[in-house]
Structure 1
Amino acid sequence: MRPILMKGHERPLTFLKYNRDGDLLFSCAKDHMPTVWFADNGERLGTYRGHNGAVWCCDVSRDSSRLITGSADQSAKLWDVQSGTQLFTFSFDSPARAVDFAVGDKLAVITTDPFMGLSSAIHVKCIAADPDDQVGDSVLVLKGPQGRINRAVWGPLNKTIISAGEDAVVRIWDTETGKLLQENDKEVGHKKTVTSLAKATDGSHFLTGSLDKSAKLWDIRSLTLIKTYFTERPVNAVAMSPLLNHVVLGGGQDASAVTTTDHRAGKFEAKFYDKILQEEIGGVKGHFGPINALAFNPDGKSFSSGGEDGYVRLHHFDPDYFKIPSI
């Protein structure tokens, strides 16, 4: 499985997102420049210029016409995917960390970091069909828990928002009332910061990765813990195959400790696990630094990883991969 190396970022990668059709891949990095690539051959199509800080997260609308990005420059921006023009800027008083379009693309959730005495918050914004009608007001603002919220996504039928972050607790919020509906059981939950969260294609369950060196699979409605995957290093990124019962975890030790170890010892590989049996089934090496972002193509035939080394690595699976015995 020869990877395609995509070098378009000067700084570490933070997030990767495929569009619904799987023909485009969007990458975010600390170099302020969200970038779009052809998902098939890794050709770079263009960059979205306008942010003045690290871009932490992005999401693309179902019809691939709009992109939303959240940045350390205290803003989230809406872009026209094709032309690269900025359609709107949502301004905040603190860095914007996570962004996610609701089903139907009429709403977006944006989280903001704790900053200068402000607590973390979850903002719900209406997304206008015509950019000229777009306004910056929030339909709903939820005061978050202590610490940063690293990920927030929409639950089934846009009725809930699922959030997780520094305090290691996964929470479900009601999008009508803003009430906290559920928190995960502390006994079975993560023990350290939740870094990443990925939903299953059918939206019935989701996966969280944490600095406590594990990833956990949860039921999206009841918040019941289904499975836990253990590894020997902090998990920065998680993804689930839409095709097979596979989950992939990426990470490595803290960037500050990287220079002191040989890259082979740093364990910078994407590790594949059997979703049901919770056993490791393989790994993909290549990054010279921790993996910060992972994403599966919606067709399940390829995946990409983004690292602290500034590279995006695009992997198309060999036919052998699809013959891995699974139950």
Structure 2
Amino acid sequence: KPLMLQGHERAITQIKYNREGDLLFSAAKDAKPNVWWSLNGERLGTFNGHGGVVWCLDVDWQTINLITGGGDSSCRLWDLETGKNIATIKTNSSVRTCNFSYSAYQAAYTTDKAMGHPCEVFVIDTRTVDDSISSQAPILKWEITDSKVTSMVWGILDETLITGHEAGDIIQWDLR
């Protein structure tokens, strides 16, 4: 049975289920990610805090935390039980992709090439999710010199990141 979920005012940019499949998360150009019951389409909540388009989101495997990235040059971590913004990582340009690793001990996000800043990939430690993440240096960081990253996924055993690029390239990065 199809469900029509009405809760965004602008175009949807990403949707994602949690591991169990009972929750559906949606991001849009309206700056307010939402979470829904997938069974009946009831909206459970809205994550308020971004100041512009939300390009990406991901939920960890235990459905404890949500990560979002947006056009307001920020990557945000959220507590799913309370809906509160736990940490905000300020970036130099829009955050285009974000993903938790399968272990949820790490997360990665990418920024766009814009305003004189290069496209970059960041890997952060998410074992302790609190406001200290906002000021911590990333575990890994590197510049993308060719075309910008448009999609990203973690590889097997959290040892690699696979990025898809605007020019059609797919690159596997060894994180070991």
Please classify the TM superposition score into its range, dividing by the shorter chain length.
over 0.9
Q: Which residue pairs with 1:66 in the alignment?
A: 65
Correspondence 1:253-292 to 2 at 5 A: none
**1:167 deviation in Å?**
1.4
Please state if 1:95 is matched with 2:99: no
Contact (CA 8 Å) 1:159, 1:175: kept in 2 or not? yes
Say if 2:169 is the partner of 1:169: yes
- Partner SS, residue 4 of structure 2: strand
Structure-1-length-normalised TM-score: 0.52
**Offset from partner CA, 1:119-152 (integer Å, 9 cap, x none):** 2111001113342553431111121133321111
What pairs with 1:1-327 in structure 2 (closer than 5 Å)?
2-134=1-133, 135-176=135-176
2: CA distance, partners of 1:15 / 1:124: 21
Q: Distance in 1 between matches of 2:81 and 2:11?
A: 25
Return the letter of the residue paired with 1:119.
Answer: P
- Residues 21-76 of structure 1: CA deviation (Å, up to 9, x unaligned): 11100000000000000011110001000000100110101110100001010000
**TM superposition shift of 1:118:** 1.7
State the TM-score, normalized to the length of structure 2.
0.95
User: How many residue pairs align between the two structures?
Assistant: 175
Q: Is the 8 A contact 1:119 1:147 kept in 2?
A: no
Q: Percent identity?
A: 39
SS of aligned partner of 1:88: strand
Write the distance in 2 (CA, Å) between the matches of 1:58 and 1:130: 16
For residue 58 of structure 2, give the secondary structure of its aligned residue in structure 1: strand
Partner of 1:281 in structure 2?
A: none
Gaps of 5+ in 2: none
| CA distance in 2 between partners of 1:75 and 1:92 (Å) | 6
Give the CA RMSD over aligned residues.
1.2
Q: Is the 8 A contact 2:103 2:158 kept in 1?
A: no
Structure 1: which 5+ runs fail to align?
177-327
In structure 2, C-alpha distance between the alignment counterparts of 1:51 and 1:159, rounded to whole Å: 30
Distance in structure 2 (CA, Å) of the matches to 1:132 and 1:93: 19
For the Cα contact (< 8 Å) 1:119–1:146, is it kept in 2?
no
